[in-house]
Amino acid sequence: MTDKYAVIGNPIGHTKSPLIHATFARQTGQDIDYLAIEGEIGHFAENVETFRRDGGRGMNVTAPFKLEAFDYATDLSEQARLAGAANALKFEGGRIFAQNFDGVGLTRDIVSNLAFTMRGRRVLLLGAGGAARGAMLPFLNERPAKLVLVNRTVSKAQALFEQFKPYAEGDFSWCSYSELAEAAEPFDLVVNATSASLRGELPPVPVGVFASGGVAYELAYGKGLTPFLKRAQDAGAAQLADGVGMLVEQAAESFEWWRGVRPETATMIRTLTVPLR
């Protein structure tokens, strides 16, 4: 019997999830049907209930419903609880299990696909919103020598720091963009978790933060050489990456969570990659 899964969001026309999961299913021999559902604003729970009644087994959740998915769940993983949001649901009887795989997918892409070891390295994370919140625990679990949070609204960076400070073993801190510029310290990995690139804008990141030979990672994907990546390139960063690997890796995490088998991701990442130029 074919099992039903879906992604829910609004808007949803741009989603690559049906393609990704159909490819994973063929690759692993799993019998699933995966749909894209445009959820109604204000009616997330009703939309999910309809899908469950129709035999749905699980869902991926994208903007703007990750907070509602968090509230809807009966059982939260530690990662979802700390992130305050859920991007994957699994239905078993009357229980609704929630996970947040965004940060796990991001970290796996950096460590496994880009072959960048975060342990003992200097990491700078731009932004203090949902994307940064999801990345915090996976990043700290990699044991970087130094992790710095920076955000335009410094109170948000400080709040994120206070929440995750108990999980840190190395040098963990936060600062403003002006303090970052004054420090003039290079970082081995700089991750842009702000929404600036979605608007074609450059976050106020100083050129000096990019270590020569380091990595610059843009969470937005399919945008080519964004202003952030162009600045990193001009500053001498050796490796540039956008979020397509994160997209595929978080999808693989949810697929394995649902089906118990891990799909291969490299082929799909190559398929979806837009040249950074």
Domains 3-100+248-272 and 103-242 equal at CATH topology level = yes
pTM: 0.94
Nearest to 184 by CA among 175, 193, 192: 175
Integer CA distances (angstroms), 270 to 147, 186, 202, 254, 266, in order: 30, 30, 26, 20, 6
- Residue positions annotated with a catalytic role: 66
**Predicted pLDDT of residue 150:** 97
Mean pLDDT (the chain) is 95
Rounded to 5 degrees, what are φ and ψ at 57?
A: -105, -25
Report the percentage of the chain scoring pLDDT > 70.
100
Does the structure show a pLDDT above 90 at 17? yes
What whole-number distance in Å separates Cα of residue 263 and Cα of residue 113?
Answer: 14
CB 174 within 8 A of CB 148: yes
Question: What's the mean pLDDT in 180-209?
Answer: 92
Does the structure show a pLDDT above 90 at 198? no
Q: What are 145-180's pLDDT values in tens digits?
A: 999 999 999 999 999 999 999 999 999 999 999 999
Question: What's the mean pLDDT in 267-276?
Answer: 93
Give domain limits for the chain.
Answer: 3-100+248-272, 103-242
H/E run at residue 57: strand 56-61
Does the structure show a pLDDT above 90 at 102? yes
Whether domain 103-242 has CATH 1.20.1440.130: the reply is no
Give the right CATH number for 3-100+248-272 from 3.40.50.2000, 3.90.79.10, 3.40.50.10860, 3.20.20.80.
3.40.50.10860
**Predicted pLDDT of residue 267:** 95
What whole-number distance in Å separates Cα of residue 51 and Cα of residue 237?
Answer: 45
What whole-number distance in Å separates Cα of residue 274 and Cα of residue 191?
Answer: 18
Which residues have a Cβ under 8 Å from the Cβ of 199 and sit 6 or more positions away?
none
**Predicted pLDDT of residue 53:** 96
